[in-house]
Amino acid sequence: MLGVALLTASLAYLVKPALDDIFFQKNLKMLMVIPIVVASVYIFKGLCDFGQYYLMAFIGQSIIRDLRYEMFCKIEDMSVGFFTKHSTGELLSRMNNDVSLVQGALTTAITGVVRDTLTVIFLVAVVFYRDYKLALIAMFVFPLAIYPLINFGRRMKRYSRRMLISLESINERLNETITGIRIVKAFAMEHYERQRFAEVNETLFKAFMRRFKVRAMSNPVMEALGGFGVCAIVTYGGYQVINGESTQGTFFSFMAALVMLYEPIKRISDVNNSFQEGLSAGERIFNLLDVEPDVLDAPDAITLGEISGRVEFRNISFSYDSIPVLKNVNLEVNPGEVVAIVGESGVGKSTLLDLVTRFYDPAEGQVLVDGVDVRTVSQRSLREKIGIVTQQTILFDDTVRNNIAYGRPDLPLELVIEAAKAAHAHDFIMAQPQGYDSFIGENGIKLSGGERQRIAIARALLKNPPILVLDEATSNLDSDSEKSVQAALEELMKGRATLVVAHRLSTIQNVDRIYVMSQGRIVEQGAHGELLALNGEFARLYNLQFSNSNREIAK
Which pLDDT score, from 0 to 100, does residue 294 have? 84
Residue 507 belongs to some domain of the structure: yes
Residue 304 belongs to some domain of the structure: no
Same domain, 365 and 480: yes
Same domain, 14 and 78: yes
Same domain, 382 and 450: yes
Same domain, 264 and 395: no
Same domain, 270 and 321: no
Cα–Cα distance, 464 to 477 (Å, whole number): 25
User: What contacts 24+ positions apart, CB below 8 Å, involve 73-82?
Assistant: 74/288, 74/289, 74/291, 75/288, 77/293, 78/291, 78/293, 79/293, 79/294, 79/295, 79/359, 79/360, 80/354, 80/359, 80/360, 81/294, 81/295, 81/359, 81/360, 82/291, 82/293, 82/294
Domain span holding position 471: 311-554
Same domain, 18 and 80: yes
Residue 460 belongs to some domain of the structure: yes
**Among 403, 413, 408, 491, which residue's Cα sits nearest to residue 451?**
403
* Backbone φ, ψ for residue 464 (5° rounding): 55, 60
Domain termination residue (choose one: 256, 289, 322): 289
Residue 400 belongs to some domain of the structure: yes
Residue 19 belongs to some domain of the structure: yes
Give the type of residue at 51: G
Per this entry, what is the length of the chain? 555
* 3 state SS of 498: strand
* Residues 7, 8, 13, 15, CA torsion sign: positive
Domain termination residue (choose one: 230, 258, 289): 289
Same domain, 115 and 254: yes
Same domain, 198 and 334: no
Give the type of residue at 288: L
Distances in whole angstroms, Cα of residue 488 to Cα of each of 185, 200, 225, 493: 34, 46, 78, 9
Residue 512 belongs to some domain of the structure: yes
Residue 298 belongs to some domain of the structure: no
Sequence-distant (6+) residues with CB within 8 A of 7 are: 41, 44, 45, 48
Surface-to-core class of residue 242, CB atoms within 10 Å of its CB (0-12 exposed, 13-18 middle, 19+ buried): exposed
Which pLDDT score, from 0 to 100, does residue 555 have? 45
Same domain, 207 and 336: no
Same domain, 316 and 206: no
User: What contacts 24+ positions apart, CB below 8 Å, involve 159-163?
Assistant: 159/207, 159/210, 159/211, 159/214, 160/101, 160/211, 160/276, 160/277, 160/280, 160/281, 161/280, 161/284, 162/207, 162/210, 163/204, 163/207, 163/208, 163/211
User: What domain count does the chain have?
Assistant: 2
* 3 state SS of 522: strand
Residue 339 bridge partners (DSSP): 499, 513
**Per-position pLDDT tens, the chain of length 555:** 888 888 888 877 777 777 777 666 777 777 788 888 888 888 998 898 888 888 887 887 888 888 888 888 888 888 888 887 887 878 888 888 788 788 777 777 777 777 778 877 887 787 777 777 777 766 666 666 666 666 776 777 777 778 778 877 887 888 777 777 767 777 778 888 888 888 888 888 888 888 778 777 766 776 676 666 666 666 766 766 677 766 666 666 666 766 676 677 767 766 777 777 788 888 888 888 888 888 888 899 999 988 988 999 999 999 887 888 899 999 999 998 989 999 888 888 888 888 998 988 998 999 999 999 999 999 989 988 988 887 777 888 889 999 898 888 888 999 999 888 888 888 889 998 899 999 988 778 888 888 888 888 888 888 888 998 888 766 555 566 667 677 777 777 888 898 988 777 767 888 889 999 998 899 999 988 888 899 888 888 888 876 655 444 444
The two most distant CA atoms of the chain are separated, in Å, by: 120
This prediction has a pTM of 0.69
* 3 state SS of 441: coil
Same domain, 138 and 18: yes
> What CATH number should be reported for the domain holding residue 213?
1.20.1560.10
Which pLDDT score, from 0 to 100, does residue 523 have? 92
Which pLDDT score, from 0 to 100, does residue 31 have? 76
> What CATH number should be reported for the domain holding residue 480?
3.40.50.300
Domain termination residue (choose one: 254, 289, 324): 289
Same domain, 278 and 318: no
Residue 300 belongs to some domain of the structure: no
* Backbone φ, ψ for residue 446 (5° rounding): -80, -5
